[in-house]
């Protein structure tokens, strides 16, 4: 992922009001992020921990999505729908996002199960056990990264869709 500026992040939010976009806080350590190790930028707002923000590169544009974490946690161990890591180091939570435009203003939302701290980019890059002789870990990691990017971009595009 290419480095982003604060104004790019705020202007990319498709389902937030101007006030909401202005009021979000950038993630801790924003200046020191390792952009080459990120497939999307995701964080929880330090002032409102139930609110998450995700910024996804999609072609030549950015799609930013404001998310709201559900108050209740899943009853059983859930799997993140983005990284699909079965050995998660952190819990998974349900996040809902208002759709962009009139649909969102009318209360239409879309939800997904995601790692609560949005560490999916790190999860897909973790070393995996080698399941069989001849297994190519580099190719497997590249496929996991590509799959993550596809799933996150599809979610962001779905939120941005006004149809």
Q: Do residues 52 and 74 make contact, with C-beta atoms less than 8 angstroms apart?
A: no
Asked if pLDDT for residue 75 goes beyond 90, the answer is no
pLDDT at residue 49, rounded to an integer: 87
Mean of the per-residue pLDDT values of the chain: 91
Instruction: Give percent of the chain above pLDDT 70.
Output: 97
Answer yes or no: is pLDDT of 163 > 60: no
Given a contact cutoff of 8 angstroms between Cβ atoms, the answer to whether 68 and 40 are in contact is: no
**Residue 71 DSSP class:** S
- From the list 163, 156, 155, 15, the residue with the least C-alpha distance to 99 is 15
Neighbouring-strand partners of residue 42: 54
Instruction: Measure CA 107 to chain center.
Output: 21
Helix, strand, coil in percent for the chain, rounding step 5: 35, 25, 40
pLDDT of residue 89: 67
More confident site: 120 or 88: 120
Residues 118-153 pLDDT 10s: 999 999 999 888 888 888 999 999 999 999 999 999
Per-residue pLDDT of 102-117, as tens digits, reads 888 888 899 999 998 9
Looking at residue 139, its pLDDT comes to 93
The reported pLDDT for the residue numbered 129 is 84
**Alpha helix segments (H runs only) across 43-118:** 101-105
């Amino acid at each position: 992922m290419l480095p982003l500026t604060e104004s790019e992040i705020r202007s990319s939010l498709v389902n937030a009001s101007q006030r909401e976009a202005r009021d979000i806080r950038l993630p801790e350590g924003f200046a020191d992020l390792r952009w080459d190790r990120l497939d999307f930028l995701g964080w929880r707002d330090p002032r409102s921990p139930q609110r998450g923000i995700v910024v996804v590169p999609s072609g030549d544009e950015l799609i930013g999505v404001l998310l709201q974490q559900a108050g209740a946690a899943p009853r059983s161990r859930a799997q993140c729908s983005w990284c699909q890591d079965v050995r998660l180091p952190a819990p998974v939570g349900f996040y809902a996002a208002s759709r962009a435009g009139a649909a969102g203003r009318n209360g239409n939302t879309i939800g997904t199960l995601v790692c609560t701290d949005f560490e999916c980019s790190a999860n897909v890059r973790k070393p995996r056990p080698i399941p069989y002789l001849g297994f190519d870990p580099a190719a497997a990691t590249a496929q996991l990264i590509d799959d993550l990017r596809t799933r996150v971009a599809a979610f962001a595009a779905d939120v941005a869709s006004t149809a």
